[in-house]
Amino acid sequence: MRQVHALGVDLRDGLHGRSVPAAAKRLRRLLGAEGVVLADLDGPVAGHGRHLEPEEVDSLLSQVFEYGSNVRTRLRDGTTVCAVPLNVAEEISGALLACGDPVEADVEAAAALVADSLDHAALRRARARIAAADLRTLRAQISPHFVHNALAVIAALVRTDPDRARHLLSDFADYLRYGFSEKGDYATVADELEAVQTYLELQRARFHDRLDITVRMAPEVLPVAIPFLVVQPIVENAIRHGLERKEGRGHISVSGFGEGPLCVIEIEDDGVGMHPDLARSLLAGTGPESRSIGLANVDQRLRAVYGPEYGLVIETALGEGTKVTVRVPRFTRGVVAQ
C-alpha cells in the first residue's frame, strides 16, 4: 500500500516532475521486472533496471501509440517485453514498458495506477490555473456606480467651483490609473493609501463635506507589500453601506500599525452598521447580491495569499458602526510590491 501511495507522490508533478526516476524504480520493484521504462508521446522520460536499446523502445512505443493497445514481444536475446499505453482522460499520453517476463495483467494495473496519478497531476495544475484566473477576475472591479457618481459630482462643480472640479478630475484620473494598472498583484501600503485618498476626496465632494476622515499610520508599515486594492474596497464599503444611509455627519478612520511580525490595518466608520449575521454571510459570499462583491472578494484574496487564518475580521452591530480589520504578515514569500 505504502509503495502505491509513494508512487502517487512521486508522480504528483506529472511525467516531467523531478521524482519520475524514483517512480520508475518503484514500479520495477512493484512488478518484479528486470527493467522498466516510462515514456510520454515524445519518447522515454525515465527508466530503471535493465537498459533497453533505443531503437527497440522506439519501435515498441510507435506500435503502442498506433494501435492504442498492449504490445508484447520478444527481444533479440529472448526476454519478453510488455508495453501498455497510459490512458489519461481517455487519451493516450504515454506508455509503460516492462521487460523480464512480467505478468501482463500486473503491468496493466500498474499502468492504470500511473495514469490515475497523471490525471491527478493534470487536475492539480488546472486547479492552480483556475485559482489564478479567479484572482485576476476578482481583483479590483471599479464599480460603474462610483464612476457615474464621481463624474456627476465633478459636473455639478464645474461652474460653481472650477478649481475644485479640476482637482477632483485629476484625482479621478489618478484613481482610474491605479485601479486599471496591470503592474502586478501587490502594492505597498503607502500606494494603497494614496488610492484611498483620491477615492475619499471624490466621496467628500459628493457628501458636501459631511464626511470626516482620520488617518493614523505608523510609518513602519508603509513599505509593507499587500495585495493590490485591499484597503480601498473596504473604505468603499464603509461609505456606501455605512455612511451613505446615515443622517448628519459621518466619520471614517483608517489606522495602521505593526504588531510584531504582523501589519494591522483598521478601517472604522460610525455609520449604520449591520447585523452580525449579515456580516458573516457577506464574508461567506452568500450575502445579498448587491453587496457581495467587495468584502468577500478582499477576504478571499487575503486567504488565498496568506492562508486561512489571515481573513478579514468584521466587528459590527446595528446602529453601532463597523470596524474591519486586515491583519497580514509583514513578509510572505512571493509577496513583493512592483
Collapsing DSSP to helix, strand or coil, 80 comes out as strand
Collapsing DSSP to helix, strand or coil, 285 comes out as coil
H helices present in 181-240, as ranges: 189-206, 231-237
Question: Which region, judged by CB under 8 A, interacts with another protein, from 1-9, 33-41, 96-104, 250-258?
Answer: 250-258
2-10 and 20-31 helices cross at what angle (nearest 10)? 150
Cα–Cα distance, 140 to 229 (Å, whole number): 6
Nearer to another protein, 21 or 329 (CB): 329
Is residue 338 close enough to count as binding another protein by CB under 8 A?
Answer: no
Nearer to another protein, 42 or 309 (CB): 309
Q: Considering only residues 131, 218, 284, 318, which one is a binding residue for another protein as defined by CB under 8 A?
A: 218
Nearer to another protein, 40 or 171 (CB): 171
Cα–Cα distance, 31 to 28 (Å, whole number): 5
Least distance between another protein and beta carbon 204 (Å) = 7
Structural contact between residues 291 and 322, judged by C-beta atoms closer than 8 angstroms:
no
Is residue 261 close enough to count as binding another protein by CB under 8 A?
Answer: yes
Is residue 331 close enough to count as binding another protein by CB under 8 A?
Answer: yes
Q: Considering only residues 222, 278, 293, 304, which one is a binding residue for another protein as defined by CB under 8 A?
A: 222
Is residue 139 close enough to count as binding another protein by CB under 8 A?
Answer: no
Residues in 285-304 that interact with another protein by CB under 8 A: none
Size of the site for another protein (CB under 8 A): 36
Structural contact between residues 36 and 98, judged by C-beta atoms closer than 8 angstroms:
yes
**CB environment 133-145: b (16+ within 10 A), e (fewer):** eebeeeebebeee
Question: Which region, judged by CB under 8 A, interacts with another protein, from 112-120, 156-164, 209-217, 267-275?
Answer: 209-217
Nearer to another protein, 69 or 214 (CB): 214
- Residue of 68, 107, 106 lying closest to 90 (CA atoms): 68
* 82 DSSP β-pair partners: 72, 98
Nearer to another protein, 19 or 79 (CB): 19
Structural contact between residues 269 and 317, judged by C-beta atoms closer than 8 angstroms:
no
Rule CB under 8 A: which residues touch another protein? 190, 193-194, 197, 200-201, 204, 212-220, 222-223, 225, 255, 257-262, 307, 309, 327, 329-331, 333, 335-337
